[in-house]
Amino acid sequence: MVVVGAAGYQGAAAVRHLRSLAVETRALFDERDERRRDRGGDESGTLVADFDDPGSLTSALHGAGALIVVLEDPATGPDDRLRHGRALADAALEAEVGRLVFVAATGADHHRLACDVSTATEQHLREIGAPATVLRPATFMEEVPWYWLSRLGRDLTLATPFEAGAHLPLVALEDVGVLAALAVTRPEEFADRTIAVAGDIATPLELAAQLSAGLGEPVRHEAVQVEGVFIYQEASTPVHDIDWLRSVHPGLRTFAGWLDDGGLDLCRRRLEAARGGGRDTR
């Protein structure tokens, strides 16, 4: 198995899960991606190719049984990601890779350009007839401590681009990676499907209440504008079959489960770092 995006949260989770199943797995990096040097000497598990050279990509994918693609390199822009996504799909087809899983960017927290890249990449997969599974993650639970939860003076605020009663699908980054790994190891359940991925659906008021209980102090919700324009009355995301997802991945986290499984600690670290002017604690 080959994973593109193994330096990010979702790709790394896919690699971990595949290796826990004793599946031979290698991470594929663009030769310009410096993060490949930070893999702790795991050179045997790393492939390098020029993502702008079709021959280089096809050679790197030769013999691969499956390819997982997460386009998340922070050093690349939308045009690069779209070009690389199309090139990876073409190379996978040319190299006769048996299964391809594309992890899209579709949650309401994602920037519009990222969603446009995902939509165009999905369209390309359909046009070339690639045997692909597309996973469309909902809003990441990690967005709460990274961007939404903050302390203003003495008060904790959950500032979201949603009205208080909006129903917001959520998923943990780790679970997206696990489901991507399951998609290539259990093709009979995932092949040729587009799947909206979420582990829970909750309103901002419900999230604030759970955070209040966990942190031991009140958390107030505030709806804020996105890019100076939007406050969503409802999350514009597809229907999520959470029961089915949990049947194939029993560990799929609810928001409460995510809080218990390190999410609450992450919230505390982020709040502490912000108070002290510290570095990012993702």
Q: Single out the residue of 149, 161, 163, 269 nearest to residue 220, CA to CA.
A: 149
Q: Compute the mean pLDDT over every residue in the chain, rounded to the nearest whole number.
A: 89
The answer to whether residue 237 scores a pLDDT higher than 70 is no
Distance CA(55)–CA(110), nearest Å, equals 32
pLDDT: which is higher, 105 or 77: 77
**Fold that domain 2-276 belongs to in CATH:** Rossmann fold (3.40.50)
Instruction: Quick: pLDDT tens for 184-194.
Output: 999 999 999 99
The answer to whether residue 108 scores a pLDDT higher than 50 is no
Q: Would you place residue 277 in the very low, low, confident or very high pLDDT band (cuts 50, 70, 90)?
A: low
Domain ranges of the chain: 2-276
CA torsion sign, 175 to 183 to 10 to 131? negative
| pTM for the predicted model, two decimal places | 0.90
Alpha carbon 207 to its chain centroid, in Å, reads 20
| Residue 109 confidence (pLDDT) | 43
The answer to whether residue 134 scores a pLDDT higher than 70 is yes
The answer to whether residue 112 scores a pLDDT higher than 60 is no
Distance CA(105)–CA(115), nearest Å, equals 5
Q: Single out the residue of 148, 57, 79 nearest to residue 108, CA to CA.
A: 148
The answer to whether residue 71 scores a pLDDT higher than 70 is yes
The answer to whether residue 171 scores a pLDDT higher than 80 is yes
The whole-number average pLDDT for the span 223-235 is: 65
Residue with tokens 């939308």: 78
pLDDT: which is higher, 11 or 113: 11
Q: Would you place residue 153 in the very low, low, confident or very high pLDDT band (cuts 50, 70, 90)?
A: confident
| Residue 73 confidence (pLDDT) | 75
Q: What SS3 class is residue 203?
A: coil
The whole-number average pLDDT for the span 107-126 is: 72
The answer to whether residue 149 scores a pLDDT higher than 90 is yes
> Which tokens go with 231?
């406050």
The answer to whether residue 111 scores a pLDDT higher than 60 is no
Locate the DSSP E strands across 20-112. 26-30, 46-49, 66-70, 99-103
Instruction: Quick: pLDDT tens for 8-27.
Output: 999 999 999 999 999 999 99
Q: Single out the residue of 18, 6, 172 nearest to residue 73, CA to CA.
A: 6
> What's phi and psi for 192, nearest 5 deg?
55, 35
The whole-number average pLDDT for the span 106-119 is: 61
